[in-house]
Amino acid sequence: MSLCASTWRRMLCAAVGALALGAQATKAGELLISQQLLPGGELEVRYTPPEGVHELSFFDAARDAHKRWRGEMMKPQGSCTELTATGIRLRQEPDCRSAVLRLKARVLALDATYEAAQPLSDSSGVLAYSGHAAVLLKGHGLRWRWLPPQGGIVIHQGRVERAPVEQSASAEQVDRVLAGASRDEVRALGVAQYVYMGSSTGLTALPGANVLVDPSLDNERVARIRKVLDYTLARLTQLYGAALPGPGAVVTAVSGLPGFHGDTTAGRMMRLRLPRTLETMPGTALEGFVTHEVVHWWNSGLFGTDQQRPWLHEGHAEWMARLLLREQSLLDAAELRADIESNLNNCVAARGAQVAAAMKPGRQGDDAYACGMSLMLLGQAQRTARDDKLSALAQMGPLHSKDRPLDVAAFVAWADAGSAVAAMAQLLQDPQQPFASGLLARLQALGLADPEPVQRSEQLPLGMRRQSAAALMSALMRSDCGGSVGFWTLPQAFRLDPAVQCRSLRVTGEVESLAGQPVLADPVAAYAAVAKACQGGQPIAVRYAAGPDTELACPSSLPTPPMNQVIRLRADALRRLGL
């Protein structure tokens, strides 16, 4: 009988084997990065470089990355390791073979930036993003190693493993990426993916996806998420005539933060951060959220999209989510109209008179979600106007191709295909065309919408109302808090971020009204009241949901409402859109 035949001996051998693998020397000329979840929920990252290498620069060496999360989460272990603003320094001593960092996994709510290490609510597992811990050494290969905790699992590239998982890249691959290689080559290095390490409790295998459920997530939401995954995976496979090349994996995590956030990475990994209660996810927000993320598996995974223009993939995911929900009768006509109006107006508020052809890449100065959705809607409307025999979803199908990535030129070609009037080309590529007026003109030409002057908050769609209120709150907070802004939008109040330091605002409070007017319910009146107080040389009264009021000094320049007119859909707009 072998040493590892009995149950308890197998457990002992597995533990010893994992330790031996973790301590295994690197191959010549290779950097080894190993990660494992420790008891108590800490994540250990161990860097073992080739002999003679002591300076390790992070792949994302931006000082902002250090300021926003590395300095918050990563702690060097032992006397051999020093963490700098841009990398790691290994002490030049004979016994210092590895640099070791530890992270206490927690949610930092980094918005569009991948979470470094998102824990399950009971700390039994963590979803770690490799990009924030990645180091590339010129002329050296790279090997990743992920170790499952005892009795636990690793989920890597959508697949569930109970043994250590490795992923390697050659020195030639590393050098190409350092020189500016393609997105696919970056993915091949494993420096842009989520990997789960932890308990297998709550793991379910669905057709096309492995789902890891947070232990605090209620059964109702679990059932809703599974239903969305079943439908959307099958429907997109049918629509595009192409299935994902392997299983995906969804890791849900419940946090104490209000609202929700998610993203997907290479290897078909999906992160869903959900609130403890449904307060900030009313109606079918959960279904829309999950559908949006599944669409990313196609538009940025199976296909390719220009990542410098995030409105392309975010807008596509937003519009496709609406179409898929509408197809399942999860959005009625009134909800869809209100939602479309909200996004059109949010987009106009964000871009205004900017010329789209001159806008810089990235998210600054844009609303990637609202403007992306508005442009996808417009492109689909143009195609439907030329051929109304195809459904809205079918019109979207030809947008992506495996032969070329989706960029602005490809999007314009899809939208204007078969038209004598290059309307989308003018809107996005004409160096003289202001965006807002061009978008409105095209909506009117298609018989979809008209402008309406704003005089009361009731005229604003809910999303636009909240954006107007948030713009006012942001301006006042920036003035009072040394340029910093941080809050969450609740149904009736702004919950201020306690990490921000302000002169007058109580950052532990929830702001309900400004200058005597409910800021979220009536932002138009709030703007007018704030302006009146400041013009009269009076401070701005701030009322909170609980606790004493405060008074806020007027900023040096008063903010103005984002819009003086709104876009309203015409009565037959949904019919014209094929909805």
Residues 39-43: contacts with CB within 8 Å, 24+ apart? 39/149, 40/123, 41/104, 41/105, 41/119, 41/123, 41/124, 41/126, 42/102, 42/103, 42/104, 42/105, 43/102, 43/103, 43/104, 43/105, 43/117, 43/126, 43/128, 43/197
Residue with tokens 């689909």: 380
> 120 with 217: CB under 8 angstroms?
no
Distance CA 231, CA 510 (A): 39
Phi, psi of 76, rounded to the nearest 5 degrees: -70, 145
Check whether residue 479 and residue 333 sit in a common domain: no
Check whether residue 487 and residue 342 sit in a common domain: no
Helices 333-351 and 368-386 sit at what angle, rounded to 10 degrees?
Answer: 120
For residues 83-105, b (16+ Cβ closer than 10 Å) or e, as one string?
A: beebbbebeeeeeebbbbbbbbb
Start-to-end C-alpha separation, the chain: 69
Does residue 361 form part of some domain? yes
Distance CA 312, CA 289 (A): 17
Does residue 17 form part of some domain? no
Work out whether the CA dihedral 559, 564, 570, 575 comes out positive or negative: negative
Does residue 72 form part of some domain? yes
Does residue 197 form part of some domain? yes
**pLDDT exceeds 60 at position 554:** yes
Check whether residue 97 and residue 179 sit in a common domain: yes
Check whether residue 313 and residue 426 sit in a common domain: yes
Segment 526-549, tens digit of pLDDT: 999 999 999 999 999 999 999 999
**CATH number of the structural domain spanning residue 55:** 2.60.40
Check whether residue 402 and residue 481 sit in a common domain: no
| Domain end marker among 201, 218, 240 | 201
Check whether residue 522 and residue 435 sit in a common domain: no
Which structure tokens are listed for 486?
């941080």
Does residue 217 form part of some domain? no
Does residue 274 form part of some domain? no
Phi, psi of 194, rounded to the nearest 5 degrees: -90, 145
- Of 196, 112, 213, 105, the C-alpha closest to 159 is 196
Average pLDDT over residues 475-481: 94
470: pLDDT confidence band, cut at 50, 70 and 90? very high
Domain around 467 = 458-552
Question: DSSP class of residue 132?
Answer: G
pLDDT at 42: 93
Check whether residue 192 and residue 331 sit in a common domain: no
Segment 410-467, tens digit of pLDDT: 999 999 998 888 999 999 999 999 999 999 999 999 999 999 988 888 888 777 788 8
Residue with tokens 């969804």: 250
Check whether residue 465 and residue 416 sit in a common domain: no
Does residue 63 form part of some domain? yes
Check whether residue 441 and residue 490 sit in a common domain: no
Check whether residue 334 and residue 463 sit in a common domain: no
Q: Which of 53-67, 337-351, 423-437, 489-503 has the lowest mean pLDDT?
A: 53-67
Check whether residue 185 and residue 332 sit in a common domain: no
Number of domains in the chain: 3
Segment 198-233, tens digit of pLDDT: 999 999 999 889 999 999 999 999 999 999 999 999
Check whether residue 161 and residue 84 sit in a common domain: yes
Does residue 181 form part of some domain? yes
